[in-house]
Amino acid sequence: MKPAQLLWRLFEMDQEIQSVQQAIGEVRSKLGVSRPVQEARERLAEAERRLKRAQQQQSELDDELAQVTQKLAASEKALYEGQGRHPKELQSLQEEVTYLSRRSSRLQESLLEVMEGLEEARQEYQRAQELLASVEQEWRASQGALAQELEQLERRLGKLERRREDWASMLAPEHLRLYDELCQRKSTPLARLQNGICQACGIRLPVAEVQRARDTDELVYCSQCGRLLVAE
Ligand SMILES: [Zn+2]
């Protein structure tokens, strides 16, 4: 193999290593993050707040209604037992009974509304709980798959790096140094030479240069893009 071809093989390995490293970065960025779970938790917390509010309202109305019912019963009792009382006193008792009856029916109406709201809040709370459970399950499954993918990628990276090391150790030190220098200058410092054309920049090279790259061990560079040419 010509030096350029040896370096080309190293270059291919480096590109593969780079793409695996990139894939590892992508998987890592997905691990441990879940927007859907976060959103489902927020929805459940909101549903819980609503449910508690509705329960609180119901209990307040219940208490008030119990008080009014008690007062109403007492006033009605006093009214029915009050034959001997002063008419003015009876009239005021009657007014109180009327007032308390109205108050009682208004409270009952409010209570009905609150109970409807409470039922809705309960249903929403249950839906939010179910949603959270299902997205959490999905998330755990995907985390497992991602962790597995990461492990595979890291194993592959390890293998590639060992192979690259082996390959690099077989290259002449001066070629290895040159390769490192070229890589510092350009991210893709090598180019295939096919049918006399640099595959990186597309220029057609003089026949003499093509022959030099193809038939000798010399390192030939593209006259336009400066890349090290690797003949077929
Ligand atoms: Zn070129």
Which of the four pLDDT bands, split at 50, 70 and 90, describes residue 27? very high
Would you say 36 and 103 are in contact if contact means Cβ atoms under 8 Å apart? Answer: no
- The pLDDT of residue 192: 96
Rounded-to-integer distance, Cα 131 and Cα 181, Å: 56
Q: Is 81 contained in some domain?
A: yes
pLDDT score of 213: 94
Rounded to the nearest angstrom, the distance between the alpha carbon of 218 and the centre of ligand 1 is 17
Distance 191 CA to ligand 1 centre (A): 7
Residue 4 lies in a domain: no
For residues 138 and 47, state if they share a domain.
Answer: yes
Q: List all residues 6 or more positions away from 204 whose beta carbon is below 8 Å from its beta carbon.
A: 196, 197
Alpha carbons within 13 angstroms on the beta-carbon side of residue 198 total 22
Please give the structure tokens belonging to residue 203: 């220029």
Total domain count for the chain?
A: 2
Question: How does the average pLDDT of the chain come out, rounded?
Answer: 93
Would you tell me the crossing angle of helices 35-80 and 87-170 to the nearest 10 degrees?
170
What pLDDT is attached to residue 25? Answer: 95
CA of 193 to the centre of ligand 1 (A): 9
190 in the same domain as 116? no
Residues 193-201, mean pLDDT to the nearest whole number: 95
Mean pLDDT of 200-208: 95
| Range in 3-17, 28-42, 97-111, 189-203 the model is least confident about | 28-42
Considering the domain architecture, whether residues 44 and 122 belong to the same structural domain is answered as: yes
Which one-letter DSSP state was computed for residue 204?
A: B
Report pLDDT digits (tens) over 72-93: 999 999 888 877 778 888 899 8
Q: In this prediction, what percent of the chain has a pLDDT beyond 90?
A: 83
Give residue-wise pLDDT tens across range 101-139: 999 999 999 999 999 999 999 999 999 999 999 999 999
pLDDT (average), residues 171-195: 92
Residue 8 C-alpha to ligand 1 middle, in angstroms?
A: 15
Structural tokens at position 68: 């009014």
| pLDDT tens track for 33-67 | 788 999 999 999 999 999 999 999 999 999 999 99
- Taking CA atoms, 205 is separated from 8, 49, 104, 109, 187, in Å, by 19, 75, 100, 93, 22
Same domain, 55 and 151: yes
Are 198 and 133 part of one and the same domain? no
Ion ligand 1 contact residues with beta carbon within 5 A: 198, 200-201, 222, 224-225
Q: How far is CA 189 from CA 112, 152, 205, in A?
A: 78, 29, 17
Residue whose structure tokens are 């061990």: 217
Nearest to 71 by CA among 103, 44, 32, 46: 103
**Two tokens, residue 211:** 């022959």
What's the confidence (pLDDT) of residue 78? 87
Q: Is the dihedral of CA 209, 210, 214, 219 positive or negative?
A: positive
In the reported structure, the alpha carbon of residue 143 is separated from the centroid of ligand 1 by a whole-number distance in angstroms of 44
The SS3 of residue 88 is helix
Token duo for residue 207: 């026949």
On whether both 209 and 103 belong to a single domain, the answer is: no
**Residues 42 and 136 placed together within one structural domain of the fold:** yes
Residue 3 lies in a domain: no
19 and 132, same domain (yes or no): yes
Are 136 and 37 in contact by the 8 Å Cβ rule? The answer is: yes
Q: Which structural domain range is residue 83 located in?
A: 9-170
Q: What is the CATH number of the domain that holds 74?
A: 1.10.287.1490
Q: Do 18 and 116 fall into the same domain?
A: yes
Q: Tell me the residue length of the chain.
A: 232
If you measure from the C-alpha of residue 195 to the centroid of ligand 1, how many angstroms do you get, rounded to a whole number?
A: 13
∠ CA 23-28-33, rounded to 5° = 135
pLDDT of residue 44: 96
At 2 the pLDDT is: 87
Q: Which of 142, 170, 198 is the last residue of a domain?
A: 170
DSSP state, residue 61: H
Q: What is the pLDDT of residue 117?
A: 94
